[in-house]
Amino acid sequence: MWQIGFLLLVLFASLLMAPREAAGCSRQCNGLGNVCRRRADCCEGLYCIGFDPVVGRFGLCTD
């Protein structure tokens, strides 16, 4: 019986940690510390820092 409770707890926690949707946007956005290629990849209020297309390095969403 405790297994069901544990599974429900894990499901609830995964829903809380899912990426938020950007305001006015139907797609999911990348949260703080996630990789990005442009600012539009990041959630509202975050910037894409460190992306370099020449080297092929991804950036990180940061505030």
12-60 confidence digits (pLDDT tens) = 555 555 555 445 444 577 777 788 888 788 888 888 888 877 887 888 8
Give the model's pLDDT for residue 22: 46
pLDDT given at position 58: 84
pLDDT for position 44: 83
- Look at residue 38 in the predicted model and tell me its pLDDT: 81
Which pLDDT does position 46 carry in this prediction?
A: 86
Q: List 62's β-bridge partners, or say none.
A: 47
Our CA angle for 20, 43, 53, nearest 5°, is 130
pLDDT given for residue 26 in this prediction: 46
CA-to-CA distance for 21 and 23, rounded, in angstroms?
6
